[in-house]
Every structure is written in C-alpha cells, then in structure tokens.
Chain A
Amino acid sequence: MPDAQVLPFDGDRHRRRQAHEHEEAPRDERDEAGGGLGGDVERAVIAGLDFLRRRLAGDYTVDETGFDPDLTDHLLLPVLRGLYEGWFRVDARGLENVPDGGALIVANHSGVLPMDGLMLVVALHDHHPSMRRLRLLGADFLFRWPVFGQLARSGGVTVACNADAERLLGHGEAVGVFPEGFKGVGKPFSERYKLQRFGRGGFVSAALRTGVPIVPCSIVGAEETYPMLADLRPLARLLGAPYAPVTPLFPWFGPLGLVPLPSRWHVQFGEPIHTDGYGAAAADDPTLVLELTDHVRETIQHTLYAMLLHRKSVFF
C-alpha cells in the first residue's frame, strides 16, 4: 500500500491505540464471566477500532455514485437492523419476487421521516437470498441538508432523476423509488394508506428504457410511526422544509418526539411487472407510461387494503 509511507505518524498512532485496547480487552472478558461472550465483545471492539482506523486513514473506497460499502456495512446497517428487528419487527414477504438483476422496486411512502425506505434496504440486504443492495432514489432536497444528505449518499441513495435511475438499473442494481414523494411521506394521519398521485411516471420510463421489471411493494405499519396530526405550513415555509409535522410526541417532547412509535410492520413485495416486452422506444409513449404508472399504483393500493384487513393490531 503506497499510502503507508504517507502516514507514518497516523498509522503509528492507530496501532498504538489498538494495542492499548488489546490490554483492556481481557478486563472486559473478566467482567462478562462467560469466555465466549467476552471473545465476542473483544472481536466487536477490535472490529470497531479497525473501522475507526480505516475511516481516519482514508483507507476505504467510495464508488462513483457516492455509495460507501464500508460505512454502510459497519455503521448504517447495524443501526437500521436494530430498528428493523427490535423496534418495528418487520415481517417482509415476497422477497423472491425481486430478481437478481436490475429491478425497480416501487413502494408507498409514509410516516413523516422516510423510515420505510431504510427498512426496505435492510429487508433486501438481510433477507433476500442474494443479499441485494437497494439503491434508493431520494429527493434533491435531501442532499441540501448537512449530515443527512451525506449519510444518505454513503448509504447508496442518489438523486431521483432519470439519468441516475437508468444508470443504476443499467448496471443491474435494485433501485427503490417512492413516486409519491413528499406528498406521501408528509400526508396527514387521517389520509393514511391512501396513495397520493404518482408523479409523472418518470420511474416507469426509466424501467422501460432499461427493460427491467417493476416490483410493486406495499408497506403497512410505517404510517403509524409518526402520526402527523397537523402541518405547520408557515413554519415549514420559514425553515424551507416541505412540511412541519405535529405528532402526538413532536414537538411537545423535544428530541424525544423523534422516537418513532413501535408499530409492527408488514412488507409485501408483489409479482414483478415485466417491461422488457415493450422495447426501449415505449418509454417515449406517454399513454403507455401513464397506464403502467396507474397499474403499479392500483396494485400497491389493493395490496395495502388487503394487508390492512388482515392486520390484527397496529403494535403487535
């Protein structure tokens, strides 16, 4: 590695810090009493420190689209996995409907904060047989924000535009999109599970142009994470945000209000809708694009109603 010579000082410091932690590790082991568990802790500590060293030394790779597998696997996914397994107890079904090649996953959007997208990332990574990476398309608004925009980029989110969608689909990636956008995620609680307008069908033309199947995905449970009781429009306009939500916990409990309600989630991936039969020129046929858009929307809406009928409780 040629950077070894560049970083004599840093490399040394990290090595020393790691050695220091090695001395501490046995103490952990004694505390835990169980040798196996202590070993796990030690491994976790070493893995964590190694991750820190890589981050500080710049020893990781970010791909051209900004996706950072190192940060995603060692920081973002473990955090999201905790939410997925422990908090929302997501029950994901129909993952076999997501093929191994390029696929466009279209889902309903809800819950003030886009938790639904993040949970789809975990579902496809942890529970799909091929451990698929879901590349989400996010509003350009997101990338204007510090920290969130950056974390989203590192986690594989890119700007929702046809250029990016087609590039990723063309490379055989699974791309996730929420055509409702802010209209869906920022709708009042009284309109829960009512799909909003599906935009101009840009996602359908991207799928047609690249010939990848569209997988409709219905998410039940996300609406109840942050039930939006009111929207403070003037405040939203002042802050330049798309909406300023009032939920049962926010803003009354301050940062605590950011804790999502522990609703139980059900995710259903539907039968893929194949687009390769139409040919790439079909992307320029607005009638077909709008028909397909409606078809996808109806499929998701009907699945949502069916899932809601079978749901016994919001939280259990």
Chain B
Amino acid sequence: MARVVLVTGVSHDPGAGLAVSLAKRSDVDRVIGVDVVPPRTSIVPAEFIRADVRGASLSRLLDTYDVDTVAHAGVLTGPARAGGRTGQKDINVLGTMQLLAACQRAERLVKLVVRSSTVVYGLSPRNPALFTEDEPPRTPPASGFAKDVVEVEGYTRGFARRRPDVTVTTLRLAYLLGDDSALSRYLCLPVVPTVFGYDPRLQLLHRDDAVEVLVRGCVEDHPGTFNVAGAGVLTVSQAAHLAGRPTVPVFWPAVGTVARLLRHAHVVDFNPELAATVMYPQIVDTSALAGEFGWLPVHSTREALLDFVRDAGPRPTPPTAAFAGAEDEHA
C-alpha cells in the first residue's frame, strides 16, 4: 500500500522524531513534515514544507501529495514556540480545526493519528488513583494547554463521527521532558519550589517512546483512544531530588506570590496549571495500550527523568540558561 504521511509540528519533538522515523521505514513511501517554522535539526529523509496549520493551504497540500495518513503532532505543550499563550491556543485549537476540516475533504485519507495528552483528565484532589480512558475528569480543565487538549479531542471525535471510513487513533501522552513545557523548566530550576504538604505522583514518557507509539499508530491499525506513559511513578520531590535539585516547600497561600515572582523574573512560567500539577496527581492506566498495541513504553518514568537530567547536564542549570529560554518565550 502506498503510504504518504503528513506530519504536523515537525519543528519540535515528538513531531520531528516521528517524521524521521517514519521516513526511514520501508513501508512508508513519503513523509511530508509541515510547521510554521523550520525544524531545528534536519528531518531528512522526510521533506519539510513550511505551512501554517491555521491556514487553508492544507487542503491543497493533502490533495497534491495524495496523503493517506495524517499524524497531528503539532499540539504545543507550552507557549514558548508560539510567542505566547494566545499563539499557542491558536495553533492548538484553530490549527486542529483547520487541519481536520482539510482532512474531512481529503478523499484518499484512511488514517488520522492525534497526539493528545494525559492532562485531559484534569487535576483534582478527587482524582482516582489511575485513570482509564473512559473515566471522566473530576474537575474538567478550565485553562491553558489542558483546555486546548480537551478541545482538540472534541474536534477529533467530531471528525471520527463524520468520516467513519478513517481510522482515528488518539494518543494521550504523559508529560514529555525536554520539550519546552513548563514542567521541564520547573525541574531544571536550581532550587525547585514545591507546595507545602503536597507531593503528587508524576508519570513521564521518554521522548523515544513517544516517537515509537506515534509511529506504531501511523503504520498499524489501532482505532481508539489510548493512554501512553512510562512504567512507574515518581513524586514531584523525588523527581527533583533525583535531578539533584533541592526542594523548597512554599505554603499554599504564598504560592501565588512565588509563582508571580518566578514568572516575572523570567525563570519559569509557573502558571496555575503547573501549580496544580505539583499539588494533585493525574496518573493513567496503560493497560488498554498494552492490550491493543501489544507494546508498552520501553523506558520507565524514572529512566525518562534520568535521561532528561543526563542530557540537560548533571549540574543544576544556571539561572542565566533558564532565563535565555524564557526570553525566547517573550520574544
């Protein structure tokens, strides 16, 4: 079967890794990577086309290249790449809307893979120990990336209803460290502020596993929604300690002030979402993935963290480095 895959969000991981891995496979003929900015590292042998998912040009693109599989990995976890929260929301929500509108008209399309996130389950003290895919959120996300993801999944469900002939796979990935997410930057702080009396579990996903599961979603047939996370959990303080960072507990009433300080000092975007992330757990059950894919992430949560720490350097990141990253975001 001739396979032409269109991958969105190839300027960053996991989209970039996905495009390269797919292009290297013998059962994939052609991989077209699109994004608004060129990838930082080359995605050869995949081809890069500069296109904005928010624009109407995608429909033409899908027709011109006879695309049969679309992998939507272009959901942004942080505002840094979009130049702010508004841009992030535009790319995530409007981008998905435009992309799916184009997909609906693409007659040759047989498969859609959407990168979602486990943040859809919301953060709440009432959260069950583990979420299965059909468990409703106790407190639906009201803002930020999590809200975007809820909308992305909503559009995806709508698309699946309108195009029942297309195999739709939604992959809810756990936190990926190493992207520009607030959590990665948070764990890179020289001293990690935690909320006094709260130490929730975190589930992480290794970058290689994120790419692998997206590749499997594209080349195999697995309709449905699946949680993807590394085995095991770490608590927030445990993660910070494993990363070699001391933690400083901040009393809940002072969290707002500390968060504002960190944001204004351009150290880390300690937004309400991140504050809730370090207060309440959001852990997912991956047995549906194991059952349907016959595969589970190779790297555990702990390995994902240790690999991230090793790549980020064993020494605490100097504040200037974190500052440079933040500058980027406000540029």
Contact = CB atoms under 8 A, between A and B. Distances in A.
Given A58-B237, A60-B238, A163-B128, A146 B196 contact: yes
A10 B198 CA distance: 23
B244 A10 contact: yes
A62 B234 contact: yes
Contacts of B132: 163
Contact of B130 (A6, A148, A167): A167
A99 to B, nearest CB: 23
B197 A159 contact: no
Interface string A145-167: 11111100000001101011001
Interface string A1-33: 011011111100000000000000000000000
Contacts of A146: 195-198, 252
A63 B233 contact: yes
B237 A158 contact: no
B296 to A, nearest CB: 13
A6 B197 contact: no
A61 interface: yes
B199 A150 contact: yes
Contacts of B252: 146
A40 interface: no
Contacts of B135: 163
B281 interface: yes
B242 A3 contact: yes
Nearest to B124: A140
B104 interface: no
Interface residues of B, number: 34
Given A3-B306, A163-B128, A57 B195 contact: no
**Which of B129, B132, B197, B244 neighbours the largest number of chain A CB atoms within 10 Å of its CB?**
B129
A10 B132 CA distance: 38
B324 to A, nearest CB: 23
B126 A159 contact: yes
A62 to B, nearest CB: 6
A130 interface: no
Contacts of B130: 64-65, 163-164, 167
A140 B138 CA distance: 11
B310 interface: yes
A5 B127 CA distance: 35
Given A6-B244, A8-B314, A159 B129 contact: yes
B125 A64 contact: no
A131 interface: no
Contact of B235 (A6, A62, A158, A159): A62
A62 B233 contact: yes
A243 to B, nearest CB: 19
B109 interface: no
Contact of A149 (B198, B201, B232, B235): B198
Contacts of A87: none
B197 A7 contact: no
Nearest to A140: B126
A314 interface: no
A310 interface: no
B242 to A, nearest CB: 4
A114 interface: no
Given A3-B306, A149-B197, A159 B238 contact: no
Interface of A: 2-3, 5-10, 56-58, 60-66, 140, 143-150, 158-159, 161, 163-164, 167
10 contacts: A3-B242, A6-B306, A10-B241, A56-B241, A64-B232, A65-B129, A66-B201, A159-B129, A163-B129, A164-B130
